[in-house]
Amino acid sequence: MNAPAAPTPRRPGPRRTGRPSAARRLAAPLAALVAVALPTLYVAAVDPNAPGRYPVCPFLQATGWWCPGCGGLRCVHALTHGHLTEALHDNLLAVLALSAAALLWLRWTAAAATGRPVRAPAPTRRHAVLLIAAAAAFTVVRNLPTGASLAP
């Protein structure tokens, strides 16, 4: 009979502490940054103020009203060129939303860099209703004569 084979000796590898490396923790926030940066760079390079470069808003085309997103591309283009007042004129709601998104991304990246658990804000039905109401109110006001300064 054959004797059982001796187990092959294992070389010691890097010790795993159960905590991912900083590079691994930062992979998701950096991937999100790249996913947002690429289209933003395109909008920065291709001016939405020139006619025919981007499609017309279907809501504007169907109703003649500015939707909450109308002027968003012009807003991003202005922000990428450092023109904050122009961006605020093009779409105030987009500037506020982009600022909130940037703050949430910074919070996420800081938590990932330090290894703290990422606690995402828990949106509720009330938050969704408030966001929809704010977008609807913004749409109505920017289409009234008194809110003409909010129109792009």
Give the per-residue pLDDT at 131. Answer: 94
Q: Are 34 and 109 in contact (CB under 8 A)?
A: no
Helix axes 125-142, 92-114, angle to 10 degrees: 150
Report whether pLDDT(8) > 80.
Answer: no
Q: Does residue 32 lie in a domain region?
A: yes
DSSP, residue by residue, 113-145:
HHTPPP------HHHHHHHHHHHHHHHHHHTSG
The total domain count for the chain is 1
Q: Is there a domain that residue 83 lies in?
A: yes
13 belongs to a structural domain: no
Cβ within 8 Å of residue 11, ≥6 positions away: none
Weakest mean pLDDT among 34-38, 69-73, 119-123, 132-136: 119-123
Taking each helix axis as running N to C, give the angle between helix 72-80 and helix 22-45, from 0 to 180 degrees, rounded to the nearest 10: 110
Residue-level pLDDT at 63 = 94
Q: Does residue 109 belong to any structural domain of this protein? A: yes
pLDDT confidence bin for 127, thresholds 50/70/90 = very high
Question: pLDDT by residue (tens digit) across 67-115?
Answer: 999 999 999 999 999 999 999 999 999 999 999 999 999 999 999 999 8
Establish if 112 belongs to a structural domain: yes
Is 34 inside a domain boundary?
Answer: yes
Is 15 a member of any domain?
A: no
The pLDDT of residue 7: 64
- By CB atoms closer than 10 A (0-12, 13-18, 19+), residue 108 is middle
pLDDT digit string (tens) for 9-50?
666 655 555 677 888 889 999 999 999 999 999 999 999 999
Q: Is 39 domain-assigned?
A: yes
Confirm if 139 and 65 have CB atoms less than 8 A apart: yes
User: Would you place residue 2 in the very low, low, confident or very high pLDDT band (cuts 50, 70, 90)?
Assistant: low
Q: What gap in Å lies between CA 78 and CA 38, rounded to an integer?
A: 16
SS3 84: helix
Specify whether the CB–CB gap between 71 and 91 falls below 8 A. Answer: yes
Q: What pLDDT is attached to residue 133?
A: 97
**What is the overall mean pLDDT for the chain?**
89
CA distances from 95 to 11, 22, 101 (A): 55, 31, 10
Instruction: Please give the residue range of the domain that contains residue 41.
Output: 23-143
